[in-house]
């Protein structure tokens, strides 16, 4: 990625030291010696992407869209003189600034979004543009340019995945995610609303309707920014906090499912259940009680590896869930240990092929064979098949031809917060997401097979 000139920026209102120039990163600049007190200054690098750039490009054309980052940069530079801004291509912008403390990061994030609020005039047409931002801050003396830009790239990638801004501070222990500290904070985080869910739909390929959704947990940490489940679920499993967390998630999902059902979309919502909980009788009892009294359609996703660990009690508990009407899906199929002997005994109605095989589907020789035979195996065991990680129309088309029942992935929708999920259902956004010239072939195939 091209780097903008990063030598000096005026600190302006950010610094409280108006009129002086400071380096934006920790690299020594020129011969200017920093007074010792300023070694604790914080450098920030943000990478921002214009949201839904592909749609914008379709609307305004390639050439005009390519120039949009220039418009955005000019807007931000005019609104916030203390920031250094440079378009870096493909709808992306790099921003650099310095601040007196780590708190300057979240403040700047707000100012940037505020600057973007007024509509843009693109060749006489009005467009509202928003940014998705991944950013990092670090004590200026401790990190160099390369480290900062790499960490910002990582933050932007996580922000894309989470569909929310991600801001990290490299001097914060959570940059390496201190699990013990996180677990200490988890109960209060649940209480205070920092833990929240995003929902990602699973869509039927042939019927083109939303079959169900999956709830994915996130932690909006007040100082550490957004933390994804990959960074705290394992710690929660090890510290026994996972039971309380999962029961909270079940309660939240029950409320949300009832709300969408009342709005006319009575689809089940699936919750990920950690393997360790499958042999915890207390959890199984509490979860069953919640679901039975919940008056909502809730399903569970479990991994097969979890069952192999303690098969007898896991299978008995899964039966208990199935007996009270909880549909079960086998998650991450193909990624961990698999055993046909257990697969046959699980009371599951759905098998989810791990995204590892799906994202490579159209570029590898081996994966289509694995996916195809997994679909046939699941059907032979009377299970429906979901492919997760469907990112491209080509993968969707191939999966449809292979007889895959349901798809889930960024192509259809990223995981989104509840309000956005409800809008997704109301506006039937999956239809546009699945509409692609390649798919008319698939629809014909479907009619031919069932007709």
Residue ranges binding ligand C2E (CB under 6 A) = 161, 200, 216-217, 228-230, 233, 246, 249, 272, 274, 301, 331-332, 355, 359, 388-391, 409-410, 415
Residue 415 CA to residue 241 CA, distance in Å, equals 24
For Ca ion, the closer CB: 395 or 439: 395
Helix (H, G, I), strand (E, B) or coil at 189: helix
**Contact partner, 308, from Ca ion, ligand C2E, none, Cβ < 5-8 Å per class:** none
Least Å distance, CB 219 to ligand C2E, is 11
- The answer to whether 162 and 218 have CB atoms below 8 angstroms apart is yes
Least Å distance, CB 13 to ligand C2E, is 37
For ligand C2E, the closer CB: 99 or 400: 400
Phi, psi dihedrals of residue 350, rounded to the nearest 5°: -145, 140
Closest CA to 92 of 60, 137, 46: 46
Least Å distance, CB 229 to Ca ion, is 10
Position of minimal CB gap to ligand C2E: 409
**Contact partner, 195, from Ca ion, ligand C2E, none, Cβ < 5-8 Å per class:** none
**Contact partner, 228, from ligand C2E, Ca ion, none, Cβ < 5-8 Å per class:** ligand C2E
Phi, psi dihedrals of residue 357, rounded to the nearest 5°: -80, -30
Provide the phi-psi class of 60: left if phi over 0, else alpha when psi is between -120 and 50, else beta. Answer: alpha
For ligand C2E, the closer CB: 84 or 355: 355
For Ca ion, the closer CB: 97 or 300: 300
For ligand C2E, the closer CB: 53 or 283: 283
**Contact partner, 393, from ligand C2E, Ca ion, none, Cβ < 5-8 Å per class:** none
DSSP result, 381-430: TT-EEEEE---SHHHHHHHHHTT--EEESTTT---EEHHHHHHHHHTTHH
Helix (H, G, I), strand (E, B) or coil at 229: helix
**Contact partner, 410, from Ca ion, ligand C2E, none, Cβ < 5-8 Å per class:** ligand C2E
- The answer to whether 329 and 351 have CB atoms below 8 angstroms apart is yes
Per-position b or e across 42-59, b if 16+ CB within 10 A of its CB: bbbbbbbbbeebeebbee
For ligand C2E, the closer CB: 94 or 332: 332
Least Å distance, CB 7 to ligand C2E, is 37
Least Å distance, CB 312 to ligand C2E, is 22
For ligand C2E, the closer CB: 76 or 166: 166
Least Å distance, CB 207 to ligand C2E, is 21
Least Å distance, CB 120 to ligand C2E, is 29
Neighbours of 332 (CB within 10 A): 19
Phi, psi dihedrals of residue 387, rounded to the nearest 5°: -100, 125
Tokens of 403: 């007889």
Least Å distance, CB 362 to ligand C2E, is 13
**Contact partner, 158, from ligand C2E, Ca ion, none, Cβ < 5-8 Å per class:** none
**Contact partner, 216, from ligand C2E, Ca ion, none, Cβ < 5-8 Å per class:** ligand C2E
For Ca ion, the closer CB: 167 or 278: 278
For ligand C2E, the closer CB: 96 or 389: 389
Residues engaged in binding Ca ion (CB under 5 A): 272, 301, 331-332
Closest CA to 170 of 141, 191, 199, 203: 141
Least Å distance, CB 39 to ligand C2E, is 36
**Contact partner, 229, from Ca ion, ligand C2E, none, Cβ < 5-8 Å per class:** ligand C2E
């Amino acid at each position: 990625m091209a780097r903008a000139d990063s030598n000096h920026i005026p600190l302006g209102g950010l610094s409280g030291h108006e009129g002086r120039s400071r380096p934006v990163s920790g690299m020594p600049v020129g011969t200017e010696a920093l007074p010792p007190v300023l070694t604790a200054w914080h450098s920030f690098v943000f990478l921002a992407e214009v949201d839904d750039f592909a749609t914008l490009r379709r609307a305004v054309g390639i050439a005009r869209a390519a120039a949009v980052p220039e418009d955005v940069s000019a807007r931000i530079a005019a609104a916030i003189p203390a920031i250094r801004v440079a378009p870096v291509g493909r709808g992306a912008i790099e921003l650099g600034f310095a601040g007196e403390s780590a708190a300057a990061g979240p403040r700047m994030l707000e100012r940037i979004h505020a600057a973007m609020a007024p509509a843009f005039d693109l060749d006489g047409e009005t467009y509202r543009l928003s940014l998705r931002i991944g950013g990092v801050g670090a004590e200026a003396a401790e990190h160099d340019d390369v480290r900062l830009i790499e960490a910002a790239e990582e933050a932007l990638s996580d922000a894309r995945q989470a569909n929310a801004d991600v801001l990290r501070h490299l001097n914060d222990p959570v940059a390496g995610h201190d699990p013990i500290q996180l677990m200490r904070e988890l109960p209060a985080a649940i209480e205070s609303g920092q833990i929240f869910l995003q929902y990602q739909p699973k869509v039927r390929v042939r019927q083109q309707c939303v079959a169900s959704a999956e709830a994915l947990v996130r932690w909006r940490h007040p100082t550490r920014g957004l933390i994804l489940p990959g960074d705290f679920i394992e710690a929660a499993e090890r510290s026994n906090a996972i039971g309380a967390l999962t029961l909270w998630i079940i309660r939240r999902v029950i409320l949300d499912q009832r709300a969408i059902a009342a709005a006319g979309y009575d689809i089940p919502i699936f919750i990920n259940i950690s393997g360790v909980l499958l042999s915890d009788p207390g959890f199984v009892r509490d979860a069953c009680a919640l679901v039975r009294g919940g008056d909502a359609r809730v399903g569970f996703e479990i991994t097969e590896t979890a069952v192999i660990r303690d098969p007898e009690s896991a299978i008995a508990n899964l039966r208990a869930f199935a007996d009270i009407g909880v549909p079960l899906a086998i998650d991450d199929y193909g990624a961990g240990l698999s055993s046909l002997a257990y697969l046959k005994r699980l009371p599951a109605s759905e098998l989810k092929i791990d995204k590892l095989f799906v994202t490579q589907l159209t570029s590898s020789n081996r994966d289509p064979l694995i996916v195809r035979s997994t679909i046939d195996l699941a059907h032979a065991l009377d299970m429906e098949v979901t492919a997760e990680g469907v990112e491209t129309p080509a993968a969707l088309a191939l999966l449809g031809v292979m007889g895959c029942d349901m798809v889930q992935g960024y192509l259809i929708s990223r995981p989104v917060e509840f309000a956005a999920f409800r809008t997704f259902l109301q506006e039937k956004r999956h239809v546009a997401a699945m509409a692609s010239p390649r798919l008319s072939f698939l629809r014909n195939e479907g009619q031919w097979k069932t007709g």
